[in-house]
Amino acid sequence: MSKQQFGETTRRKFLGTATAATAASLTAPAAGNAEAAKSARSVGTTKLAEANSEIQAQLLERAKEGDWTKPAAMAIPKEGYFTLEQGRYGPIYPKTPANYGFTIVAKVKPGRDDIVRQYGKTIEKAVAESPFVLAPLKLHYLRWVLFNIGSDTYFMYQGIFDTDFDKYTEDAIMLFTQAGVNTVFENLEGFPADWKTNTPAFVKFVREHQCPSFLEYGEYPFVTADEVKKALKVKAAMSSMLDQMQ
């Protein structure tokens, strides 16, 4: 081997070794950083889960106590509950800062759109004639919406109330039956025709069409409708008293 060939071979070996060493020095920290980042993400996720769990526990405790002193927001799992507890007809849904409630979405029977809208007028007239006709339901508010998906019409029933999920449905059946009034649900596909005498079937329909919310907020959380009205009566009484003192 000539001196020149020997030199070139040596240089190639040196460069190859140097390149491998450089690559190792560059990739090793990267791998280490990746592991560290992965570990940090894991710790961060765990801490977030623990923090969320603490928040949920605090909010549920505030719900039991009816603590309205600070606004509250509650993120709710997709199932609609934090812990599976069986009630009379299925899982018990928690009291949120907005109180109890549900959002029912169901397809309207073909050609019944106008009939569903007319029910809005029926409720309006009933409440105008007897303002406390819906009092047994312990409602805060109702919101009815009709919307289309393709050529199909859907009905969305949103309500916030102070009783639990199942009792509201039972009270609604009793209220409409005693008043001799039919329910708007009769215009929805899959609703049981024997609902007046078959409470479980009615509740089953409601539960199957319930779309649990994943966030609920209350500016004055956990306050019942009766407590709101009492506070407003006190305010009115105080205003009247101050007027008399002038």
Q: Where are the alpha helices (DSSP H) in 86-224?
A: 113-129, 165-179, 199-208
Which residue would you say has higher pLDDT here, 10 or 147? Answer: 147
* Lowest pLDDT segment from 31-40, 73-82, 142-151: 31-40
For 28-58, the pLDDT digits (tens) are: 444 556 565 555 555 555 554 555 778 888 8
Number of domains within the chain? 1
In a domain, 89, yes or no: yes
pLDDT at position 187, please? 97
Phi and psi, residue 243, nearest 5°: -60, -40
| Residue 159 domain flag | yes
Determine the structural domain holding residue 104 and report its residue range: 72-224
Dist. CA 201–CA 194, nearest whole Å:
8
Structure tokens at 51: 């923090």
Average pLDDT over residues 94-119: 95
Share of the chain above pLDDT 70, in %: 79
pLDDT at 45: 53
Q: Which residue has the tokens 């060939």?
A: 5
